[in-house]
Amino acid sequence: KKYIEESSERRRLYNEVIELKGNIRVFCRCRPLNQVEIAGGSNCVVEFDSSLDNELHIVSSDSSKKQFKFDHVFRPDDNQEAVFAQTKPIVTSVLDGYNVCIFAYGQTGTGKTFTMDGTPENRGVNYRTLEELFRISQERSGVMRYELFVSMLEVYNEKIRDLLVENSNQPPKKLEIKQAAEGTQEVPGLVEARVYGTEEVWELLKSGSRARSVGSTIANELSSRSHCLLRVTVKGESLVDGQKTRSHLWLVDLAGSERVGKIEVEGERLKESQYINKSLSALGDVISALASKTGHIPYRNSKLTHMLQSSLGGDCKTLMFVQISPSAADLGETLCSLNFASRVRGIESGPARKQT
């Protein structure tokens, strides 16, 4: 009974918020200046208002200021707990049957991986989310039965690769997207590992990350040039009325959004950059088409948006972290990212719908 009351209260509160704000949230996170920037005497171009947690100003070299507003703005001294506190209600709604999609967007080196993966001392959104999902499933075990599955894949140069290969010395398996029922995509052959606890997932993710760098001598470079996707599938069954749900939570660390310099524009790097630009702009186009409600949503323009189609519509919950650098040297890229994110935030969307 307590569970039913809590769950309907959560839904009521959520619907209230949705009526006010829609299903798409954008959080901005600014990393601290790093050692090299401090040693080099870099200027910080980001200003925060001490009393407001949803806006920031970018100060240009001519001292003009541009204001940006998001659903929440995290400052350089906000820690992983603070970030997760805001993210938790969104990710845990996958247990109530909602499809959820979280992206980290931004220039390489701005903290996308720090926000999503974190480090063993400073766990990020992915680990904390799994921990919370296991905790809540345990808490609800008298009224709900949950099964959790994890998949991990990479999109590199418009090719999808399964990172949960059994033997991480083997190259990742290539996969294709298949249209299942109307508006539902499947990736046949994708490994879905049933998981029972957070540490187990952590080990799985570590082996997935190793698979990511197979064949590359420059693992870090590759990781900034591919999208890394973690998918948590939740199957739920109510022990009260037998109602079943199946929903997905996608946790996505996108490729770096930086524009390539003129010097690099040749060969393999050019191809990579074109693919990255294509998929990031496809993501922006999908989101703005959803916003303008024009009817046709161009999901098929990239593997990324096509695969996420059923988790990226008006009835799903979407959260984008726009990651930025405070340094004057990155001003141009920072403005590009903030403009992109503002476009995303402009979205109006209908209430989220439960998946059954």
Residues that bind ligand ADP (CB under 6 A): 31-32, 106, 108-114, 224, 323
Provide the phi-psi class of 271: left if phi over 0, else alpha when psi is between -120 and 50, else beta: alpha
Q: Taking the CB of residue 70, how many other CB atoms lie within 10 A of it?
A: 23
**Packed helices 80-91 and 125-139: angle between N→C axes, nearest 10 degrees:** 50
Of 147, 224, 149, which Cα lies nearest the Cα of 191?
149
| 38 in Cβ contact with 31 (< 8 Å) | no
Q: In this complex, which beta carbon is closest to ligand ADP, that of residue 22 or of residue 106?
A: 106
Q: In this complex, which beta carbon is closest to ligand ADP, that of residue 22 or of residue 109?
A: 109
Q: In this complex, which beta carbon is closest to ligand ADP, that of residue 162 or of residue 253?
A: 253
Please, what is the Cα angle at 115 between 110 and 121, to 5 degrees? 115
Q: In this complex, which beta carbon is closest to ligand ADP, that of residue 112 or of residue 303?
A: 112
Q: How far is the CB of 78 from ligand ADP (least distance, A)?
A: 7
Residue 158 CB contacts under 8 Å (≥ 6 apart), including other chains: 275, 278, 279, 302, 303
Q: How far is the CB of 76 from ligand ADP (least distance, A)?
A: 6
Q: How far is the CB of 225 from ligand ADP (least distance, A)?
A: 10
User: According to DSSP H, which parts of 140-261 are helical?
Assistant: 198-213, 219-224
Q: In this complex, which beta carbon is closest to ligand ADP, that of residue 106 or of residue 313?
A: 106
Q: In this complex, which beta carbon is closest to ligand ADP, that of residue 106 or of residue 208?
A: 106
Q: How far is the CB of 72 from ligand ADP (least distance, A)?
A: 14
Residue pointed to by tokens 């990226």: 312
Q: How many Cα atoms sit within 13 Å of 268 on the Cβ side? A: 4
Q: In this complex, which beta carbon is closest to ligand ADP, that of residue 31 or of residue 140?
A: 31
Q: How far is the CB of 355 from ligand ADP (least distance, A)?
A: 30
Torsion angle defined by CA atoms of residues 211, 212, 213 and 219, in that order, rounded to the nearest 10 degrees = -150
Q: In this complex, which beta carbon is closest to ligand ADP, that of residue 108 or of residue 318?
A: 108
Torsion angle defined by CA atoms of residues 221, 223, 227 and 233, in that order, rounded to the nearest 10 degrees = 180
Q: How far is the CB of 315 from ligand ADP (least distance, A)?
A: 30
Q: How far is the CB of 278 from ligand ADP (least distance, A)?
A: 20
| 22 in Cβ contact with 351 (< 8 Å) | no
Q: How far is the CB of 336 from ligand ADP (least distance, A)?
A: 14
